[in-house]
Homo-oligomer: A and B are copies of this chain.
Amino acid sequence: MSGNSFGNIFKITTWGESHGKALGVVVDGCPAGLKISNKDIQLELDRRKPGQSKYTTQRKESDKVEILSGIFNGTTTGTPISMLIPNADAISKSYENFKDIYRPGHADLSYDEKYGIRDYRGGGRSSNRETVGRVAAGAIAKKILKTMKIKTFGFVSQIGNLKCEKIDVNYIEKNPLRIPDKSKLKDMGDLIDKVRKQGDSIGGIIEVRSLGVPAGLGSPVFEKFDARLASAIMGIGGVRGFEIGLGFSIGSMRGSEVNDIMVGKSKGKVKFNSNNAGGILGGITNGNDVVLRFALKPTSSISQIQKSINSKGKVKNLQVKGRHDPCLCPRAVPIAEAMVNLVLLDCILENKLTTLKKII
CB pair B79–A15 under 8 Å, yes or no, is: yes
Output the least CB separation between A335 and chain B (Å): 12
Q: Is A235 an interface residue (CB 8 A)?
A: yes
Q: Is A170 an interface residue (CB 8 A)?
A: no
Of the candidate stretches A42-50, A56-64, A172-180, A275-283, the one touching chain B is A275-283
CB pair A223–B251 under 8 Å, yes or no, is: no
CB pair B219–A4 under 8 Å, yes or no, is: yes
Which residue of chain B is the closest to A114 with respect to CB atoms? B216
Task: Give chain B residues whose Cβ lies under 8 Å from the Cβ of A266.
Answer: 313
Output the least CB separation between A161 and chain B (Å): 5
CB pair A28–B16 under 8 Å, yes or no, is: no
Between-chain CB contacts (< 8 Å), 29 pairs: A2-B9, A4-B26, A4-B80, A5-B5, A13-B13, A17-B72, A22-B69, A31-B358, A33-B117, A72-B124, A111-B220, A113-B284, A113-B285, A113-B287, A126-B220, A144-B359, A160-B252, A203-B251, A203-B254, A223-B235, A226-B239, A229-B234, A230-B233, A231-B231, A240-B244, A240-B277, A241-B247, A241-B251, A266-B313
Task: Give chain B residues whose Cβ lies under 8 Å from the Cβ of A84.
Answer: 68, 84
- Which residue, A214, A219, A299, has most C-beta atoms of chain B within 10 A? A219
Output the least CB separation between A353 and chain B (Å): 5
- Complex CA–CA separation, A33 to B116 (angstroms): 7
Q: A33-B116, A160-B253, A240-B277 are in contact. List 8 more A-B contacts (CB 8 A).
A: A22-B68, A34-B356, A79-B119, A104-B260, A110-B285, A110-B286, A130-B221, A243-B295
- Complex CA–CA separation, A113 to B319 (angstroms): 53
Q: Known: A222-B5, A356-B34. Is A254-B200 also a contact (CB below 8 A)?
A: yes
Q: Hey, what's the 0/1 contact readout for A205-243 against B, CB within 8 Å counting as 1?
A: 100000000111111111110111111111101011111
CB pair A261–B295 under 8 Å, yes or no, is: no
Q: Is A307 an interface residue (CB 8 A)?
A: yes
Which of B234, B315, B354, B360 interacts with A148 by CB under 8 Å? Answer: B360
Q: Is A152 an interface residue (CB 8 A)?
A: no
**Which bucket holds chain A's interface residue count?**
35 or more
CB pair A296–B105 under 8 Å, yes or no, is: no
Q: Is A351 an interface residue (CB 8 A)?
A: yes
Output the least CB separation between A92 and chain B (Å): 11
Which of B24, B115, B260 interacts with A354 by CB under 8 Å? Answer: B115
Q: Is A184 an interface residue (CB 8 A)?
A: no
Q: Is A167 an interface residue (CB 8 A)?
A: no
